[in-house]
């Protein structure tokens, strides 16, 4: 039941519900990964079941693919879809220019590939993810397992010349073992506190041997939808330079909540 959701989940839900209103019949849709994106996938599945909406989804992780199939969304690979009309995903942080840090869920590589293969990227979030400067959330860097400690040392050396407040790094773990991405890689999290020049950092990190991709999404997001615990949403369009507001009404009980784990 909607009434049983925590305030943060209500904010995520209303942002997701508003975002899926952007989906039209026949679209090819990138499906993000993470707790907020999972709300979007469920909301989109509800439209597919109740309205007969026809679309194909390109998931950004194995777990998103599993959820999409469970709620009735047709799933295809990006190479089959080729180009997408829209991608909807969450973010760990976003700044006033709608630059993002993503990858807290470990899917940053597929998320970035899918987002950049889309006409439009929409981020759904709550107000807690908005920051003046990126870097409070650890920045994920995906590296291949071979020589990962060398890659980490090179990253730490690079950070000495970057405009950041912190320079600690850590290997992401799953229990006592390294966390492994869908592509079989490791993630090194950079604890930077504040990133003075995200664009520069994104470029130079990817020059380090062994680095596959980093979680800085620069000039990729077009629209951010910020959900509130009261059902209100704010929609910021970076291309139009506009800000709009809406309110999402939901009943005390919705179909979408019935099969939540």
Judged by DSSP in three states, 175 sits in coil
Choose the catalytic residue: 46, 93, 111, 213: 111
Is 93 designated active site?
Answer: no
Angle 247-253-256 from CA coordinates, rounded to 5°: 80
Judged by DSSP in three states, 25 sits in coil
Judged by DSSP in three states, 30 sits in strand
The torsion of the CA quartet 141, 129, 85, 258, rounded to 10 degrees, works out to 110
Q: Which residues are annotated as a binding site for substrate?
A: 33-36, 89-92, 102-105, 129
Q: Residue 57 has which token pair?
A: 């989804």
Q: Which residues of 2-22 are buried (b: 16+ CB within 10 A; e: fewer)?
A: beebeeebbbbbbbbbbbbeb
Taking 3-state DSSP, the helix, strand and coil percentages for the chain, each rounded to the nearest 5, stand at 30, 30, 40
Which residues does the annotation mark as catalytic? 111
């Amino acid at each position: 039941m909607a009434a049983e959701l925590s305030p943060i989940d209500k904010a995520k839900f209303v942002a997701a519900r508003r975002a899926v209103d952007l989906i039209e019949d026949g679209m090819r849709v990138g499906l993000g990964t993470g707790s907020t994106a999972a709300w979007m996938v469920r909301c989109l599945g509800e439209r597919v079941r109740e309205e007969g909406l026809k679309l194909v989804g390109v998931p950004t992780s194995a777990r998103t693919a599993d959820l999409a199939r469970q709620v009735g969304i047709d799933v295809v690979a990006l190479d089959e879809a080729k180009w997408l009309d829209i991608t909807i995903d969450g973010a760990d942080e976003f700044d006033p220019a709608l630059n993002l840090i993503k990858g807290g869920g470990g899917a940053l590589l597929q998320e970035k590939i899918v987002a950049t293969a889309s006409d439009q990227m929409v981020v759904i979030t709550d107000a807690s993810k908005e920051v003046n400067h990126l870097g409070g959330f650890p920045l994920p860097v995906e590296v291949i397992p071979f020589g990962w400690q060398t890659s980490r040392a090179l990253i730490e050396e690079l950070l000495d010349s970057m405009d950041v407040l912190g320079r600690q790094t850590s290997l992401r773990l799953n229990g006592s073992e390294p966390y492994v991405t869908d592509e079989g890689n490791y993630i090194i999290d950079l604890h930077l506190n504040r990133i003075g020049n995200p664009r520069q950092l994104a470029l130079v990190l990817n020059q380090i041997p062994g680095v596959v991709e980093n979680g800085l999404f620069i000039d990729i997001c077009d629209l951010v939808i910020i959900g509130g615990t009261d059902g209100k949403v704010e929609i910021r369009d970076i291309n139009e330079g506009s800000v709009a507001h809406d309110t999402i009404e939901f009943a005390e009980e919705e179909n979408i909540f019935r099969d939540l784990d």
